[in-house]
């Protein structure tokens, strides 16, 4: 599309309505600001992904390998034999339309191919044409079509317009999960080197250096100094965390974004303060310095390769169990995949809170506990002292992250913690929280900058609900237990609802936590004055 084209028609006669054709016959239009740039060849080569090359999504020629169709068909055949979910979801959709209006991208764009059912049909149509008897005989009548370069482009375009949030799956009478289909679609595109840079870069970094940003060990420790200094400024307490320490009781793993990205760093400050106050015997790791897993947005094997570091490091350091920070897709992976991929974790012990003695039975095989579970237990057992007034300048709401709500069920723990550390808590409307939560619009590796328009569209349903509580209750802070949320919602709200900031759960914990030996606090973790403590001009 040309940037701006004036149409010299009489105003009232201009009709923007796109031509009406059946979706099977409507070729994809790859539009600027909706897609992410292609992966750099070197990032793909680093992890051994095939067909790294220079190409651009809006080029006519994607420089596909000669035998690309064979690769796709072989790939589909293999995936159909490996995943019952894929095989069943290809077969049983009745196109009832219950999922159609549940996708944040559809709601924000009105593009019919963003309806989960249709996004799945893009792949199903090729499946029917090549893997089912009815499709082979009845062709188009059975909704089958041939695989062409245009179809492949359409797959790519729309599978990188799905954030794998699973909201559609909640409403589907058969539980058909578009996330599962997108994952298969991305496996297929990855076989042809059609990966996006925003995912491939972090994957290569994480593989070689242990985290998405590609930070080397000494950079991790020295960067943390900055917020250790900030903590000292705020509380007068100097915290000295340890790294790669053998013999610690607990290994702590969190998304690396929390160490460098605002507002995630404030959450990391909260972790540090909490652990210090508890006197927890724990260590950070520079090797397993990434809780997140962008490999999960490429292929199953890649996700497993990145994830392997967590157990390997826990074993090497000889810890008893693992504590996980606030992250969305990290927890989908930890909860539903990690043990299966890289377990059994028989070298670890069943997690027991050293402070309360609570045994985390719900994590007895995987041996990894979510920090919201850990902190909720501390609060329930009255092990922490809070000064809630330090959060009184905030009217807080809570955004359920897609993965922790629909791929785990972590709903009440963070709410319990929030209500224990702040006085002003307001829920967003019921249709937009808990299992029905709306995605931030930037998950599954789509939080790049070149697709900002797509992200803003996809973020609108969530922001719209935040706007509602902003206007109704004066909500000015949205807590989220996900590192991508913290970055992406900040951006989305800056556009849609200026006046609502985003924080992690443990930032608010850190604010309210009364620490032994602390000085009288005048600032919150963002170094902003606390209510009533503003310096008189």
CB-based contact 123:143 (threshold 8 Å): no
Taking alpha carbons only, the member of 111, 120, 109, 122 closest to residue 153 is 122
CB-based contact 471:455 (threshold 8 Å): no
CB-based contact 469:426 (threshold 8 Å): yes
User: Using CA atoms, how far apart are residues 407 and 244, in angstroms rounded to an integer?
Assistant: 30
Measured in whole angstroms, how far is the alpha carbon of residue 256 from the centre of its chain? 13
121 touches other proteins by CB under 8 A: yes
Residues in the interface with other proteins (CB under 8 A) total 160
Minimum Å distance from CB 496 to other proteins?
7
User: Using CA atoms, how far apart are residues 407 and 435, in angstroms rounded to an integer?
Assistant: 9
Minimum Å distance from CB 263 to other proteins?
8
Tell me which H or E stretch contains 251.
strand 250-253
User: Using CA atoms, how far apart are residues 56 and 38, in angstroms rounded to an integer?
Assistant: 6
Residues between 281 and 320 that touch other proteins (CB under 8 A): 286-287, 300-301, 304-305, 308-309, 312-313, 316
Identify the residue among 4, 66, 516, 536 touching other proteins (CB under 8 A).
4
User: Using CA atoms, how far apart are residues 47 and 44, in angstroms rounded to an integer?
Assistant: 6
Which of these ranges, 3-11, 50-58, 60-68, 382-390, lies near other proteins under the rule CB under 8 A? 3-11
C-beta closer to other proteins: residue 143 or 354:
143
Give Cβ neighbours of residue 426 (< 8 Å, ≥ 6 apart).
Answer: 395, 396, 397, 469, 472, 473, 475
Minimum Å distance from CB 175 to other proteins?
4
Identify the residue among 487, 500, 508, 513 touching other proteins (CB under 8 A).
487
User: For residue 425, how many C-alpha atoms fall within 13 Å in the half-sphere facing its CB?
Assistant: 16
Identify the residue among 103, 115, 323, 327 touching other proteins (CB under 8 A).
115
Contact map string, positions 185 to 224, toward other proteins, x by CB under 8 A: ----------------------xxxx--x-xxxxx-xxx-
Task: Label the pairing between strands 250-253 and 396-399.
Answer: unpaired
Minimum Å distance from CB 457 to other proteins?
5
Minimum Å distance from CB 501 to other proteins?
12
341 touches other proteins by CB under 8 A: yes
Minimum Å distance from CB 322 to other proteins?
11
Minimum Å distance from CB 517 to other proteins?
25
User: Using CA atoms, how far apart are residues 422 and 424, in angstroms rounded to an integer?
Assistant: 6
Residues between 242 and 271 that touch other proteins (CB under 8 A): 243-246, 257, 259-263, 265
Residues between 393 and 452 that touch other proteins (CB under 8 A): 405-413, 416, 429-432, 434-436, 449, 452
Residues between 6 and 45 that touch other proteins (CB under 8 A): 6-7, 11-12, 14-18, 20, 22-23, 31, 33-34
Identify the residue among 97, 357, 382, 536 touching other proteins (CB under 8 A).
97
C-beta closer to other proteins: residue 68 or 156:
156
How far is the CA of 443 from the CAs of 300, 330, 362, 483, 488, in angstroms?
17, 12, 27, 10, 8
User: Using CA atoms, how far apart are residues 326 and 196, in angstroms rounded to an integer?
Assistant: 25
516 touches other proteins by CB under 8 A: no
User: For residue 274, how many C-alpha atoms fall within 13 Å in the half-sphere facing its CB?
Assistant: 29
What is the arrangement of strands in the sheet containing 396-399, beginning at the earlier edge strand? Answer: 396-399, 477-480, 501-504
Angle, in degrees to the nearest 10, between helices 178-191 and 116-131: 60
C-beta closer to other proteins: residue 43 or 313:
313
Contact map string, positions 351 to 390, toward other proteins, x by CB under 8 A: -------x-xxxxxxx-x----x--xx--x----------
Minimum Å distance from CB 39 to other proteins?
19
What is the widest separation between alpha-carbon atoms in the chain?
A: 81
Neighbours of 80 (CB within 10 A): 16
Minimum Å distance from CB 461 to other proteins?
5
Identify the residue among 60, 141, 517, 520 touching other proteins (CB under 8 A).
141
Task: Label the pairing between strands 396-399 and 282-283.
Answer: unpaired
Minimum Å distance from CB 380 to other proteins?
6
Identify the residue among 60, 66, 110, 516 touching other proteins (CB under 8 A).
110
Minimum Å distance from CB 187 to other proteins?
13
Residues between 143 and 182 that touch other proteins (CB under 8 A): 143, 166, 169-177, 180
């Amino acid at each position: 599309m040309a940037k701006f084209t004036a149409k010299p028609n009489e105003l009232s006669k201009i009709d923007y309505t796109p031509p009406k054709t059946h979706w099977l016959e409507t070729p994809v239009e790859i539009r600027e600001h909706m897609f992410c740039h292609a992966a750099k060849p070197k990032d793909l080569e680093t992890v051994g992904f095939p067909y790294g090359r220079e190409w651009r999504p809006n080029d006519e020629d994607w420089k596909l390998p000669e035998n690309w169709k064979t690769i796709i068909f072989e790939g589909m055949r293999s995936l159909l034999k490996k995943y019952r979910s894929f095989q069943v979801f290809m077969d049983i959709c009745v196109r009832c339309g219950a999922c159609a209006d549940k996708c944040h991208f559809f709601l924000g764009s009105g593009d019919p191919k963003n309806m989960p059912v249709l996004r799945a049909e893009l792949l199903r149509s090729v499946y029917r044409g090549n893997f089912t008897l009815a499709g082979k005989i009845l062709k188009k009548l059975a909704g089958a079509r041939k695989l062409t370069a245009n179809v492949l482009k359409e797959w790519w375009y729309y599978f990188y317009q799905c954030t794998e949030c699973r909201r559609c799956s909640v409403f589907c009478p058969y539980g058909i999960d578009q996330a599962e289909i997108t994952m298969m679609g991305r496996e297929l595109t990855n076989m042809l080197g059609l990966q996006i840079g925003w995912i491939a870069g972090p994957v290569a970094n994480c593989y070689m250096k242990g985290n998405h940003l590609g930070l080397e060990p000494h950079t991790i420790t020295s960067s943390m100094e900055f917020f250790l200094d900030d903590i000292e400024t705020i509380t007068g307490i100097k915290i000295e965390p340890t790294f790669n320490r053998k013999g610690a009781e607990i290994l702590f793993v969190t998304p690396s974004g929390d160490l460098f990205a605002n507002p995630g760093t404030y959450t990391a400050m909260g972790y540090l303060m909490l652990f210090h106050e508890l006197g927890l015997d724990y260590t950070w790791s520079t090797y397993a310095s990434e809780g997140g897993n962008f490999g999960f947005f490429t292929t199953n094997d890649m996700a497993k390769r990145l994830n392997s570091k967590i157990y390997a490091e826990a074993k090497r350091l000889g810890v008893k169990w693992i504590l996980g920070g606030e992250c969305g897709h990290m927890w989908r992976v930890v909860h539903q995949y990690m043990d299966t991929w890289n377990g059994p974790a028989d070298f670890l012990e069943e997690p027991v809170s050293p402070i309360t003695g609570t045994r985390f039975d719900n994590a007895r095989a995987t041996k990894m506990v979510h920090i919201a579970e850990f902190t909720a237990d501390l609060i329930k057992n009255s092990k922490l002292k809070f000064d809630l007034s330090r959060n009184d300048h905030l009217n807080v709401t809570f955004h359920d992250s897609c993965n922790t709500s629909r791929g785990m069920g972590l709903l009440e723990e963070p709410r319990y913690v929030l209500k224990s550390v702040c006085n002003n808590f307001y829920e967003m409307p019921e249709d937009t929280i808990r299992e029905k939560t709306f995605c931030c619009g930037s998950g599954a590796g789509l939080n790049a900058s070149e697709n900002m328009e797509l992200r803003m569209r996809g973020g609108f349903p969530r922001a719209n609900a935040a706007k509602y509580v902003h206007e109704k209750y004066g909500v000015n802070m949205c807590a989220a237990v996900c590192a991508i949320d913290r970055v992406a919602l900040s951006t989305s709200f800056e556009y849609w609802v200026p006046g609502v900031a985003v924080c992690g759960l443990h930032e608010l914990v850190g604010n309210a936590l009364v620490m032994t030996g602390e000085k009288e606090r005048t600032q919150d973790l963002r170094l902003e004055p606390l209510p009533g403590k503003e310096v008189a001009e």
